[in-house]
Amino acid sequence: MLLAPKGFGHYWKTHYADKTFEHLYRWNTFDTVMLIPYFIVMLILAFYGVHRYQLVWLYFKNKKSAAKWNEPPMRFDRNHLPFVTIQLPIFNEQFVIERLIEAVCRLDYPRDRFEIQVLDDSTDETTGVASAIVERYARGFAGMEPQPILYLHRSNRHGYKAGALDKGLDVARGEFVAIFDADFVPPPQWVMQVIDHFAEPEIGMVQTRWTHLNRNYSFLTQVEAILLDGHFVLEHGGRSRAGVFFNFNGTAGMWRRETIATAGGWQHDTLTEDTDLSYRAQLVGWKFKYLQDVECPAELPIEMTAFKTQQARWAKGLIQTGKKILPRVLKSDAPWHTKLEAWYHLTANISYPLMIVLSVLLMPAMIIRSWQGYIQMLLIDFPLFIASTMSVSTFYMVSQKELYPKTWYKSIIYVPFVMALGGVGLTITNTKAVIEALFGVKSAFARTPKYSVKKKGEKSQAKVYRKRLGIVPWIELAIGCYFAWTVYYAISTENFFTVPFLLLFVFGYWYTGLLSLLQGRFERSGPGQEIHEKPYPVGV
């Protein structure tokens, strides 16, 4: 991205400066053709990078506005607590469903004031496993009294998760609806920590913070945990404290049922039905709360392809939601800063295709500008580099310091890998997802497989739900080789300042590519059969 003091451009200038004006004109045209898109891309990436700094600023500026679970402005009468429906949408989750149901049945809330719905769209052994578990807990199991739990199975996955949630609402009795995905383990006190915040009649949704059951399982899960911590601390924290729109994360949150209805209900024309409903609800006047101090543990993906599948679904869904919702937001009566934050939020994944463009232009731009020297580099390239790249490390380290004030420094070692994986390694899969969203290409709601693993080295059942790899890992390895060549060029031209930045590209692409190809290679000789989910177009 940055410049070498000597190079091809210097060679050209030295040897051809006395040639005809025509030759010089061709060279200047080539300069323009290469450098204009290069700087446009860098400026846009810097634009989103500066926004990370802004979220950090909003988080600390509005610290006094943070909602706390034990300080609700109003409380419900303990003798007349509202009725709560707990929805558990699942699809092919045979390894984690028992853990989820057990945790939900142990929630500390009056048994005559809540019900549990297991909303099962599964097409594999999960149906038998889940229905048997529900039957046991409905009768009374493991020293518990009979639980108010109901099993609902759909043979037609119409609308995917959104369709399942909507179907459950048809028979739900609750005034409030809590939702937990299959890989979550809500603690017993969760409902009581959340419910009183709905005593304020204008509150439509309360989101709680995800934590990580298997954070220490592997190097990959450590990096994933830091990425999610940044989202839940600074994005949700900054937006909620500033009073702008933010979103329900699909799980570990509770809705007022009236809010869902008045916002138009669950809709399945995007892959992020949670964000879609969130914006529609806030546009019609409902207020949301984020309780950072209420934790809900969940399992992180343990394989690279599962992680990439999850991230691609979120990237595509946010762009789809942006196309659908942003025109309404911009035409609404919301304050301008709310509209601007919504723009940042819903369009942020456009940075992935821009990273592809930057990857293509990086080497030509380096060669062209190599003769210009360090002054222009420091005045132009370096500020853009700080804005677009260094903001990532600042963003995630601040989140770690907020969560772990005494041990946050131990996470510093992961920062380069967070930048390499989150900013570079996901570029290929997320670019494909973003382009599909921009051009209206529909795809299935691809669930993220989980296996109930916690400890380092614990054997998983990953082969059962392992995804097909396709050509993407090979493309990632090839691009990594290209950047390895740019590292060699930078060193050969004594452009040492660019080397650390270029190495992030090399590591990001090689790490994601190799981990995708090598995952489970030593388990495939054992028994078991790979199951591949049948793709259905969105809305079918």
Residues with a catalytic annotation lie at 121, 274
Question: Which string of DSSP letters, residue by residue, matches 384-432?
Answer: HHIIIIIHHHHHHHHHHHHH-TTTGGGGGGGHHHHHHIIIIITHHHHHH
Asked if 370 and 8 touch (Cβ cutoff 8 Å), the reply is yes
**333 in helix, strand or coil?**
coil
Query: 108 to each of 137, 195, 206, 353, how far by Cα in Å?
Result: 16, 12, 18, 46
With residue 517 as reference, give the H or E element that holds it: helix 499-518
Cα separation, 51 vs 63, in Å, equals 18
* DSSP at 380: I
Q: List, in order, residues 6 or more apart from 451 with CB less than 8 Å away.
A: 95, 96, 299, 302, 460, 461, 462, 465
Residue 3 has a CB neighbour count (10 Å cut-off) of 28
Helix (H, G, I), strand (E, B) or coil at 53: helix
Burial class (CB in 10 A: 0-12, 13-18, 19+), 332: middle
CA distance 471 to 379: 40
Distances (CA, A) of 277 to 194, 196, 219, 249, 324: 20, 22, 34, 11, 11
Report residue 535 as tokens: 């793709």
Q: Which residue type sits at 27?
A: W
Tokens representing 349 are: 């994944």
Rounded Cα distance, 49 and 43, in Å: 9
Sign of CA dihedral 444, 450, 456, 458: negative
Q: Which residues of 211-234 are buried (b: 16+ CB within 10 A; e: fewer)?
A: bbbbbebbebbbbbbbbbbbbbbb
Q: Helices in 150-301 by DSSP H: which ranges? A: 160-169, 190-195, 219-230, 236-242, 257-262, 273-283
CB 489 within 8 A of CB 432: no
